[in-house]
Structure 1
Amino acid sequence: MSAHQFHVPTSKADADPRRWVALAVLLIASFMNLIDVTIVNVALPSLEKNLGAGPNEIEWVIAAYVLSFALGLLPFGRLGDIVGRTHMFLIGVAAFTAASALCGLAPSIEWLIIARVLQGLAGAAMTPQVLAIAQVTFPPEEKGQAFSLFGLSSGLAAVTGPILGGILIGANLGGLDWRPIFLVNVPVGIVAVVAGWYLIPRTPGHPGLKNDFVGIALFVAAMVALVYPLVEGRAFGWPAWAWGMIAGSFALAALFVLWQRRRAAGDKPQLLNFSLISNPNYLLGLLITTIFASGVPAMFMVLSLMLQSGFGFTPLESGLTNTPFSVGVLTVSLFIGRLGQRWLRTRLGLGAAILVVGI
């Protein structure tokens, strides 16, 4: 469907008949991106052994992807508004596929880290477009069902990642050891790009919109100034420059907020909706989410290394050991949404308490 034919459906009658097939393509691409977050954990001991990676380099295999993904979300989300969501999505999937191939063919740990940066940026180009496309593809009565499938896909990716990683590494296909965990994305990505080109409606872009390049620079500088010393500081004995960079990251973050406020006051394009970052409840939720996301993924990275290097588990056994957590998340997420806005504080406190006890 071309851009000039695109319209937002108001009922099933005027919705694109291919919308559910298009949704399947979006889900496949999203699943491919999400599974890559968890599948790598079980490969870390293999990377240590086969590429001679040290502790810092192992951290960068994870951090390079997460950092570049985080850095790219805001600017690529805005770029999707400008050039069109579908075009940005297809570019992101194609780039993610190519970056996955580079990861699988990396001759050294340094090249793998560089490829992971590219993979994270590609994932950031793809991800913001997925829900945005679904939002304007389905009529109101079908949006809830469509969005629930994204939640289910996320849970399945979390469950599948460690197990699939363990199977692929354990099988040692063609003597490739850890490489298939990245190369498996290549055929999937190619199918997603080709199918997406023909099946996903072309959402129109808005070339008149502008990006906030100063905001992007401040956001990138703040994130890099925070993450780099956290990863490298230990190797250097936590020198003064590491603490200085961490302190500087908070100053840069404050400048970013002030800049967004100024852009909002002047009715100019922003990376963030300033009404959100001015809302105390939103900021509290953001803080809680940040604390959770900062601790739990790191726990699984350390756990995977300990199980394989310390206790002699196979990659598959390590993946299966991590699976109950993901199964719990998936199981609860299937029915917790039915509670709506009820008992939010109780649910938050109870969930946090159970998490602490479990850890």
Structure 2
Amino acid sequence: MSIARAGAAGEAGNRWAALAALYLAMFMSILDISVVNLALPAIRADLGANDTELEWVLVIYVLAFAAGLLPFGRFGDVLGRGRLFCWGVAGFTLSSLACGLAPDIPTLIASRGVQGLSAAMMVPQVLAIVHVIFSEEEKGRAIGLFGSVSALGAVAGPLVGGVLVSADLFGLGWRPIFLINLPIGLVSVLGALRYLPVLKGDTRQAPDWVGTFLFALAVLALVFPLVEGRQFGWPLWCFVLIGLSAGLAVVFHGLQKRNVRRGRTQLLPVTLTRDPVFVAGVLFIAVFFSAMAGLFFMMAIFLQSGLGLTPLTAGLTLAPHPIGVILASTLSGRFGTRRLAERIVLSTFLVLGALVAVWLLISSGWAPWALLLPLLCLGLGVGTGIPALFQLVLSRVAGVDAGAGSGVLQAFQQIGMAFGIAVQGQIFFQVLGNGAGEAAYRQAAQATLVYPAGVLAGLFALAVVRWAWPSIWHG
């Protein structure tokens, strides 16, 4: 990819202004993932949504995001990363307006799907653009800010969601959580148009349209029956779709190998699929995020509908988690690439212990304030492990495949999140049934927590094995 700098676009001040525009859009997309959790009860009351429809409000975003990350990362190489970034931010902003004005739940779900695709269009371009427009001396500082912005978005989500829903601005209820994206997106687009240098695409690369379709279809065939199965009583077609998903994944992988032989662009570089450390790391991250995403979907409903907390109070109750993530990420960043295995072991141990503590407190009938310390420990565990996991996985990726490797990592992270929300949503609403009292919600929350706790117990055991006998991961 080549760069054509116009006028002062190459000046240092303009590069940092361009970075602000890029990271503002990243902040908006991260904020939108977590801010919706606190609005779910209000959305259900206003639009008459059932349990499955509430799951889809979250899952459709994550699903579209996951399906789009790989292809849009490659499309940026062809069409130009700056151009695709601006298109993505514009699409995200307009779809946020559609969400905020949605008259019914199907419109909201459809608009959330467009949001997810738009996020997939802009997110892969951000670090790639940073890599191109900054010198080696400045790049470390610029990329370091990426983690801070991500953590800030995670912290702000529960708080902003709680404040906006509780404030009921102009009688709009939950709708301002989406409408707040309008000024943010507008400033980001204008800043990118003003300060980003012209980044020309490589038109010699042809997008893999067949691979894009197969990958998206495989993800949809896996997640759709998981979300809808309980509502339909788990008919045969649910299991057929799950099996079809595995078959489509095999066909997709075969297509990528054929692309190698014919010298065509690969969505998923085959060399990465042959690296046991990369594959194991990506699967580890996907499973880890399946535990975390579903947990906070459940907790948002439990705290408000089960314990009667206001959205603001629920947001404050959940806030120690992202605060812990920021603290641990900042501290663990000082280790660089050192002691990755030990940090992953410590992370899974802390998260497992925190989940057990949350389960015990909920089952014992403790007040919500008692959850603050375990949730802080949960955040410390996540903040310790995620940077180490990402570094471990990306250390296996050659420079020429860095963009693709990052796209694969983020895609499977989102697939894990969609899977976790679907599975834990199934458990929670199945156990809850028609129950309406606090006892029923506590029982449903206890049952749901078995999944993330079981997942983390398994991941902790794998991390210990990886630390004690690292050679077995290398075959």
Normalised TM-score (structure 2) = 0.72
Partners in 1 of 2:258 and 2:203 — Cα distance? 23
C-alpha deviation, 1:3, in angstroms: 5.2
How big is each residue's C-alpha offset from its partner over 1:248-276, in whole Å with a ceiling of 9 and x where there is no partner? 11111121112112212322111122211
Secondary structure (helix, strand or coil) at the match of 2:267 reads coil
Cα distance per residue 1:312-338 (max 9 Å; x no partner): 000011111111111111111112122
- Aligned partner of 2:184: which letter? V
Distance 2:310 2:227 in 1: 27
| Worse overlay, 252-261 or 280-289 | 252-261
CA–CA separation in structure 2 for the residues paired with 1:307 and 1:320:
11
Alignment match, 1:333 = 329
For residue 174 of structure 1, the aligned residue among 157, 170, 173 is 170
Whether 2:190 is the aligned partner of 1:194: answer yes
Residue equivalent to 2:96? 100
- Note the C-alpha offset of 1:292: 1.2
Residue 316 of structure 1 corresponds to: 312
Structure-2 separation of matches of 1:261 and 1:157:
38
TM-superposition CA deviations, 1:216-240 (whole Å, max 9, x none): 1110110000010010001111111
Task: Return the offset for 1:340.
Answer: 2.3
> 1:214 deviation in Å?
1.3
Aligned to 2:29: 33
Of 260, 263, 266 in structure 2, the residue corresponding to residue 264 of structure 1 is 260
Q: Give the match for residue 71 of structure 2.
A: 75
Q: How far, CA to CA, are the matches of 1:213 and 1:191 in structure 2?
A: 32
Q: Which residue of 1 aligns with 2:18?
A: 22
Letter in 2 for 1:56: T
Matches within 5 A, 1:142-157: 142-157=138-153
Q: Counterparts of 1:5 and 1:358 in 2: how far apart (Å)? A: 50
CA distance in 2, matches of 1:163, 1:329: 15
Q: Do the aligned partners of 1:15 and 1:138 also contact (CA within 8 Å) in 2?
A: no
Residue aligning to 1:355: 351
Shift of 1:192: 1.1
Per-residue CA distance 1:90-139 (angstroms, 9 max, x = gap): 01101100000000000001100000000001101110111111110110
Aligned to 2:159, which of 142, 160, 163?
Answer: 163
Partner of 1:252: 248
Matched, 1:56 2:70: no
Task: Give the structure-1-normalised TM-score.
Answer: 0.95
Aligned length: 353
Q: Distance in 2 between matches of 1:319 and 1:48?
A: 18
Does the 8 Å contact 1:163/1:319 carry over to 2? yes
Say which structure, 1 or 2, has more relative contact order (CA 8 Å, 6+ apart): 1
Q: Distance in 2 between matches of 1:161 and 1:17?
A: 30
Structure 1 distance, partners of 2:332, 2:166, is 36
Cα offset for 1:341? 2.5
Cα deviation, residue 15, structure 1: 5.6
Could you tell me how far apart the structure 2 residues matched to 1:167 and 1:327 are? 17
Q: In structure 2, how many angstroms separate the alpha carbons of the residues matched to 1:17 and 1:204?
A: 22
* Percent pairwise identity: 46
Q: Which amino acid aligns with 1:141?
A: E
Q: Deviation at 1:16?
A: 4.5
Provide the rounded CA distance (Å) in 2 between the counterparts of 1:188 and 1:62: 21
Equivalents in 1 of 2:322, 2:12: separation in Å? 34
Distance 2:121 2:198 in 1: 16
Deviation string, structure 1 residues 159-205 (Cα, Å, up to 9, x no partner): 00010010001110000000000000001111111121011111111
Match of 2:84 in 1: 88
Contact 2:79 2:200 in 1 (8 A): yes
Q: Which amino acid aligns with 1:4?
A: A
The one of 291, 298, 318 aligned to 1:295: 291
Equivalent residue, structure 1, for 2:4: 4
Q: Is the 8 A contact 1:59 1:231 kept in 2?
A: yes
Secondary structure, in 3 states, of the residue corresponding to 1:203? Answer: strand
8 Å contact 2:82–2:196 — kept in the other structure?
yes
Structure 1 39/288 Cα, relative in aligned 2: closer, same or farther at 3 Å? Answer: same
Q: Does 1:137 align with 2:141?
A: no
Q: Return the offset for 1:76.
A: 1.1
| Alpha-carbon separation, structure 2, partners of 1:302 and 1:145 | 37
CA contact (8 A) 2:80 2:201 kept: yes
Query: Alpha-carbon deviations, 1:43-71, whole Å to 9, x = none?
Result: 00001111100000000000110001111
Unpaired stretches in structure 2, ≥5 consecutive residues: 356-475
**Which residue identity lines up with residue 86 of structure 1 in the other structure?**
G
User: What do you get for the CA RMSD once the two structures are aligned?
Assistant: 1.6
Which residue in the other structure is 1:205 paired with?
A: 201
Is 261-270 or 180-189 further displaced after alignment? 261-270
1:273 aligns with 2:269: yes
Q: Distance in 2 between matches of 1:89 and 1:343?
A: 35
How many Å separate the matches in 2 of 1:41 and 1:355? 21
